[in-house]
Structure 1
């Protein structure tokens, strides 16, 4: 059961402990390992799946370690989405990753693996990473830097630029061997690679190797229908063994996309003593049992399921430090090599590159929120949460402007929308306010994708749309941007944006086949439009019929917002009407009986409806099975989705029986032990899948509200829609923050999801929360006495880092006892609303929270809804 006293005590620790103010180097407060672990110690399952390697803000290169979790309790190899798992052996380092996502992995390509000693004596098959994967220790990560040490004694350090990575290897003078068997064949002079063929006569510790394996990619669970795979490639080794270049194709993976090509160009600080190439038959599900022949061929090409790679070897008698600098491009080898020359030239040291990464993060991202001196004594944990999650908010999507292989355009280009389903709820509004110029570029990129690919994405990776989870949620993104003022930005072609939204709303996409969703239709657009138009709801002829319908209503509200702004009156009326279709899903007879938990019976929920209009009365609103692609709802319970009508909360309250019943249902949402969750990878809490009620004593026991998944994001703020109850939003959100967000490796309650969890926390630290597609913020209470948020909204096309406009949050009375809002003052004006208008703060403002020790019914005016008359044509 939620305990306000516990929540208040937790907040005390975040306010009153002594500490120091942040210096100009905000990177010192970023903890890259936060969110790399799940509820099971050592496992990433159910954790943030955060990428702890090195990248610039929204950088194309994300260089990091790749690990194997086979035969470890990680929940399957599909949990290594960022390449990193807390436990598990390493299979190398690669340059392309994503961060914080769920689902099947994508990328983990353009790799190197350092090896030592006799390849032959250790039984290493260079085409089978299971023969050389290596345990690692002594890992360290900070902004711009990652280090790990393998059991072989090799220490590897990483840093990066926007399109290139640096790998610095420290090979020991005497290396350890791993295995002793012989299964490798070497052509020509073998002495420089393996010594003699007998393990007893090898000269261990005199050879350092770097393996370049084009077939290397992050492995996936889920079988061959989903797992990404290498297709073909080519490789060119420099005649003096100083480097290499080439390209490779890969397909499938998370978005189930078609084959895409990446080019690479790598150099070494010291030319190798010798280099070899190899090829072998390739089966992405079964590693080769026979080792390939190493050959002195330096320009090779392979297709038809032939994997290729190269082995570079250095003879050394003492410890060897070696650097490799590798550039990647989606356009050409020449451009990949150019990135090495211009972004990480040899005259620029490793440490200088690392400092450049830190400077970029400080300038563009981390300095956007600062803690002024008037805050007084602060807590380093709060600083860590603030800056760690500012960092996590800006790793995705990937800025590949100038690197678009699909079409030529002067527009910005962003890939790895992973996914808009996750980020439309509060992340894109954060981008809007804080990284405004970036956000304008992202919007232009989405429009340009529609121009050339036919649809805006809900998910996109590897330069192809894929993995639409519910509705066409780019509609919500554009509606939110328009409602909050970007409709005035001339660099955004709003007529094209609206045309792209109309495509989503009216054109049935081709139905791609998807082994996760029995009805397919997961690439783009809204595949259930035929039902939506005919019935005003979605029948069980389509997967995820309830959650899709809930989102389609929000999507159509988004079209209403933009149509109204552009003067399209007939369209505005049409889509406003369609946005009320959520009511057609409402089953007034559906119940949830929680009397055994000491609660009541709750009536009225979204329901599963047939074409003849009948509801399936057997549906359990508190148990969704797996909440998977083929179920009635996706990644959340029907109970959770029944709160997700942000554009029409007043009508929703009436459907639930009025404000008293609505409040009681909200209260029940936060009682521990009432839910089995929505799948292990999407459910916060340490309690193993339980019978209902058995987790009630666990402080992280599973409630119907799920802090680890996006459909529940707005639920704890909905008390603001009940007059005088804003204090409960404060209680619930503080409890969630203090229970589920820490600076430990498991300190995120679910997949970070491209910054979704990060920005949810950031809004809570600020004391506001945006409602998508509406120009309002719900008021909670800040975690700092003073906080300055730099706004880039005044001139949305200029770098936000150069803005001098700030939103100043002040709560001078905030203390151990004073966590409740007593009143609000905005720019010198006292208000009694539980929400702020976007225009009140977007161009700079001072918001003063009057704080006190007891709840206060200061909030007389609730946020707008349909029935309040605020959304009319």
Structure 2
């Protein structure tokens, strides 16, 4: 099993091997078996990691190498010489987070040494349990003895074990061992495969994928598959520091490191995984001809840049993921917002599968996707409250429909979940509805366009124009007007806008899924103050126009209120910060987006041991780096990429769907990155002034040429050059271009409703920095 940590407990890492050079006195019980007792350090300088390979040496002198196929891993262990030269391998019925439940089993074949069995585990960030099966074989030396271990003792006369968890909150040690008669110089090979169906299927997977225990061939196949996956994107690196090239491709690699490679025939043996993982043929929950992907872990993390990146670089995989999401809805009744190891994961914010489906739909993905059923699924998210909305759908829908927001301490008797995050849920539900309106528009569902366009403006109902913000020492931030929780009677909650920000080192408040959590999820009111992806024009006016918006956005970054990293401090995983790096585009200041991008890269992201600011969260951080350095950052759920200069003289992207190659060229490229401001641009040879581009750039293979300079210019600053927004930009017309445009009259109705509900009076100039 692959392993990783994307929040919650460490994920997977099932059925671990542990190598011993020998057991004291030649007695099998001279080895230390319990997991906590046997641990020893590794040699830091020995670690080597490349795509499809990992190597490490322990202080005991044992060297371990690992490579992989689709369901199967192959290990090579080399042991130092000892007095009896009889190395031992242990297979532990455990996982990384020690979540094993009752009735784990192992069976050891005395003659062949094959070990097979299963265990029940908890998921990392969800509810329920799952059963994983394994099959392990060994090659390279003759067998001295084998058997099982339990607690701190082992026995070669017993070949079968069934073990429970224990009563002390920690699984009892147990598993199998195999000891060898000699210590070959070229090492001992251990092959282990997994399955969610049966041990027999795990054995079949192993025999099909790595039949000959050929470590070099398996490694080469994995490396070749990775090269193919990375091949659509090529850069010109002349004059560029090699660390920037490594950083860029490392970002792409991390974006895809947990995701199964996908082909049109679905069944796939490539040793590449991208998150989510392709478990087609390994789903015991229902029978289907559709692909099955797991570890949507979680969409709150991945919808922002990781899955949009796959729309460009691996659209076939994303197509299969969308089919899997829709098939999960068909068989379980809801689109998942988070899912791992066959279990339902916890919903963090809105129903963000709605954003994922919309993003794929408006960018033209087809190839077997039932978009009518997909639309039915997203509408159910908006209309029907599930009984347990902590794992699917949306809670508080009665209040959402009657009040236009999710109240703090809502009275909700139809469904149940952690009664927190009313601000972030309201803002995310609003954007989810915005996305549904995009789908409805393209499907010709006029009534739904009007309905969900209207509700997509509900974010405005939580804007408190009188909310102030002070630092802990009493210093005024100088800004007035923030989103704030509201009770059912319309009165305001009192969450400090800086609580749960990066600089909140004093409040002790929680903004996660605890029942004592605040009204924002893993971020502050300051941060969520910019989360209106569908209607930036209206938000800009709410903050006093472009100058006020830019001033506030600068303050967010310059005062370290936001942090581009993950799990940095005070329980913050601040993924809403991704888009704030580029939101200057909407205020007509694309040069400031480029400047901010270069502030974070490489300051916080570099190919060093400390080159990540926190947990990569299944490729979320990697995709932020990749798309930032590529110079086209998405606003997911919209056919929009915000243009900044790539970090290279040129970059080319070959569409896996059409075979066409899109190219971005920088004229006057400066490897010192002082000239990072676009002075002018052409698209296929014609002058181009818009500061954004749509997905046809990739599929049609267009050429974008950017002329750069050291100073901010007027390029991309006019109202007609700004990205689409639901409302009109002040002084000009809104841009439709693949999205629903809310007319001025529509806007006046919405604002009137807002004034009536909130008692705001005039809101156009509210929130101006003072």
Distance 1:276 1:386 in 2: 48
Q: 1:831 aligns with which of 685, 688, 703?
A: 688
- Counterpart residue number, 1:102: 7
- State whether structure 2 residue 113 is matched by structure 1 residue 242: yes
- Counterpart residue number, 1:857: 714
- Change in CA separation of 1:158 and 1:841 when aligned onto 2, cut-off 3 Å: closer
- Counterpart residue number, 1:867: 727
- Counterpart residue number, 1:253: 124
* Aligned pairs for 1:323-362 within 5 A: 323-346=189-212, 349-362=214-227
- Counterpart residue number, 1:144: 52
Q: Secondary structure at the match of 1:231?
A: coil
- Counterpart residue number, 2:343: 464
- Counterpart residue number, 2:567: 682
Distance 1:867 1:356 in 2: 51
Distance 1:718 1:585 in 2: 21
Q: 2:395 aligns with which of 508, 517, 527?
A: 527
| Paired positions, count | 684
Distance 1:591 1:123 in 2: 67
Q: Secondary structure at the match of 2:662?
A: strand
CA contact (8 A) 2:161 2:175 kept: no
Deviates more, 1:828-837 or 1:635-644: 828-837
Distance 2:472 2:488 in 1: 33
Higher relative CO (Cα under 8 Å, sequence separation at least 6) belongs to 1
- Counterpart residue number, 2:645: 781
Q: Secondary structure at the match of 2:482?
A: strand
- Change in CA separation of 1:744 and 1:117 when aligned onto 2, cut-off 3 Å: same
Shift of residue 252, structure 1, vs aligned partner: 4.3
- State whether structure 2 residue 18 is matched by structure 1 residue 113: yes
CA contact (8 A) 1:242 1:268 kept: no
1:455-494 deviation line (CA, Å, top 9, x unaligned): 11111111122111011100011111122222xx251000
Shift of residue 307, structure 1, vs aligned partner: 5.7
With normalisation by structure 2, the TM-score equals: 0.84
- Change in CA separation of 1:596 and 1:131 when aligned onto 2, cut-off 3 Å: closer
Distance 2:741 2:510 in 1: 39
- State whether structure 2 residue 547 is matched by structure 1 residue 671: no
Distance 2:7 2:495 in 1: 30
- State whether structure 2 residue 281 is matched by structure 1 residue 402: yes
Shift of residue 303, structure 1, vs aligned partner: 4.9
- Counterpart residue number, 1:184: none
Distance 1:304 1:659 in 2: 60
Q: 1:635 aligns with which of 522, 528, 533?
A: 522
- Change in CA separation of 1:377 and 1:139 when aligned onto 2, cut-off 3 Å: same
Q: Secondary structure at the match of 1:136?
A: coil
Distance 1:714 1:475 in 2: 18
Structure 1 gaps of 5+ residues are 1-94, 175-203, 221-227, 281-290, 512-520, 690-701, 795-803
Shift of residue 343, structure 1, vs aligned partner: 1.0
- Change in CA separation of 1:210 and 1:421 when aligned onto 2, cut-off 3 Å: same
Distance 1:636 1:143 in 2: 33
Shift of residue 301, structure 1, vs aligned partner: 3.5
CA contact (8 A) 2:482 2:529 kept: yes
Deviates more, 1:605-614 or 1:535-544: 535-544
- State whether structure 2 residue 380 is matched by structure 1 residue 493: no
With normalisation by structure 1, the TM-score equals: 0.75
Q: CA RMSD in A?
A: 2.5
Distance 2:469 2:613 in 1: 26
1:767-814 deviation line (CA, Å, top 9, x unaligned): 1111121111111111111111121243xxxxxxxxx31110100311
Shift of residue 251, structure 1, vs aligned partner: 2.2
- Change in CA separation of 1:253 and 1:485 when aligned onto 2, cut-off 3 Å: closer
Shift of residue 529, structure 1, vs aligned partner: 2.2
- Change in CA separation of 1:406 and 1:266 when aligned onto 2, cut-off 3 Å: farther
Q: 1:811 aligns with which of 655, 660, 666?
A: 666
Q: 2:636 aligns with which of 769, 772, 786?
A: 772
- Change in CA separation of 1:293 and 1:743 when aligned onto 2, cut-off 3 Å: closer
Structure 2 gaps of 5+ residues are 167-171, 258-274, 410-418, 502-508, 729-733, 743-770
- Counterpart residue number, 1:278: 149
- Counterpart residue number, 1:731: 595
Distance 1:317 1:105 in 2: 34
Shift of residue 622, structure 1, vs aligned partner: 5.0
CA contact (8 A) 1:172 1:318 kept: no
Distance 1:507 1:851 in 2: 51
* Aligned pairs for 1:426-825 within 5 A: 426-486=305-365, 489-511=366-388, 521-541=389-409, 542-593=419-470, 601-617=478-494, 619-621=496-498, 623=500, 625-629=509-513, 630-672=517-559, 682-683=567-568, 709-723=574-588, 725-794=589-658, 804-815=659-670, 816=672, 817-825=674-682
- Counterpart residue number, 2:270: none
1:200-244 deviation line (CA, Å, top 9, x unaligned): xxxx44321111121x21137xxxxxxx23332222211314322
- Change in CA separation of 1:492 and 1:835 when aligned onto 2, cut-off 3 Å: same
- Counterpart residue number, 1:316: 182
- State whether structure 2 residue 159 is matched by structure 1 residue 298: yes
Q: 1:387 aligns with which of 215, 240, 249?
A: 249
1:825-853 deviation line (CA, Å, top 9, x unaligned): 11112121111133344321111011112
Distance 1:244 1:573 in 2: 60
Distance 1:156 1:212 in 2: 15
1:622-642 deviation line (CA, Å, top 9, x unaligned): 546232222211111110101
Distance 2:402 2:10 in 1: 37
Distance 1:157 1:124 in 2: 25
Shift of residue 319, structure 1, vs aligned partner: 5.1
Q: Secondary structure at the match of 1:613?
A: coil
Shift of residue 818, structure 1, vs aligned partner: 2.1
- Change in CA separation of 1:462 and 1:867 when aligned onto 2, cut-off 3 Å: same
Distance 1:237 1:122 in 2: 16
Q: Secondary structure at the match of 2:558?
A: coil
CA contact (8 A) 2:147 2:157 kept: yes
Distance 1:337 1:170 in 2: 24
- Change in CA separation of 1:838 and 1:831 when aligned onto 2, cut-off 3 Å: same
Q: Secondary structure at the match of 1:147?
A: strand
CA contact (8 A) 2:427 2:532 kept: yes
CA contact (8 A) 1:123 1:131 kept: no
CA contact (8 A) 2:140 2:187 kept: no
1:689-734 deviation line (CA, Å, top 9, x unaligned): 8xxxxxxxxxxxx9xxx9x6311111121111123x2111111111
1:524-553 deviation line (CA, Å, top 9, x unaligned): 111232322232111122211111111111
Distance 1:169 1:151 in 2: 14
Deviates more, 1:545-554 or 1:837-846: 837-846
Shift of residue 644, structure 1, vs aligned partner: 0.7
Q: Secondary structure at the match of 2:480?
A: strand
Distance 1:840 1:106 in 2: 37
Shift of residue 322, structure 1, vs aligned partner: 0.8
* Aligned pairs for 1:19-418 within 5 A: 95-98=1-4, 101-118=6-23, 128-137=34-43, 138-174=46-82, 204-214=83-93, 216-219=94-97, 228-280=99-151, 291-303=152-164, 308-316=174-182, 321-346=187-212, 349-363=214-228, 365-372=229-236, 376-395=238-257, 396-418=275-297
CA contact (8 A) 1:261 1:330 kept: yes
